[in-house]
Amino acid sequence: MIAIFDIDGVLADKSEIKHLNCRNEREREIFENKIEDLPLTPLAQIMAFMPYHRILFITARRDATREKTEQWLNKNIGLTYPYYSQIYMRADGDDSPSANVKERALGIIKDLYPEEDIIVFEDAAACAKMFKENGCTVCHIFRGHK
Report DSSP letters for 9-24, one per residue: TTTB--GGGTT----S
Q: Taking the complex as a whole, how short is the minimal distance between the CB of residue 90 and Mg ion, in angstroms? A: 12
What minimum distance in Å lies between the beta carbon of 114 and Mg ion? Answer: 26
Among 11, 90, 123, 128, binds Mg ion (CB under 5 A): 123
- Among 3-11, 15-23, 25-33, 80-88, which window interacts with Mg ion (CB under 5 A)? 3-11
Nearest to 140 by CA among 30, 129, 100, 111: 129
Supply the DSSP string of 37-59, one letter for each residue: PPB-HHHHHHHHT-TTSEEEEEE
CB of 52 to Mg ion, least distance (A): 25
CB of 115 to Mg ion, least distance (A): 27
Give CA–CA dist 113/145, Å, rounded: 31
Verify binding: residue 90, Mg ion, rule CB under 5 A.
no
| Interaction of residue 76 with Mg ion, rule CB under 5 A | no
- Does 6 contact Mg ion by CB under 5 A? yes
- Secondary structure (3-state) at 130: helix
Q: Is 37 in the site for Mg ion (CB under 5 A)?
A: no
Identify the residue among 3, 4, 8, 73 touching Mg ion (CB under 5 A): 8
- Cβ proximity to Mg ion: between 2 and 43 the closer is 43
Contact criterion met (CB below 8 Å) for 145 and 9 = yes
Q: Does residue number 32 form part of the binding site for Mg ion (CB under 5 A)? A: no
DSSP character at residue 65: G
What is d(CA 116, CA 108) in angstroms, rounded to the nearest whole number? 13
Residue ranges binding Mg ion (CB under 5 A): 6, 8-9, 123-124
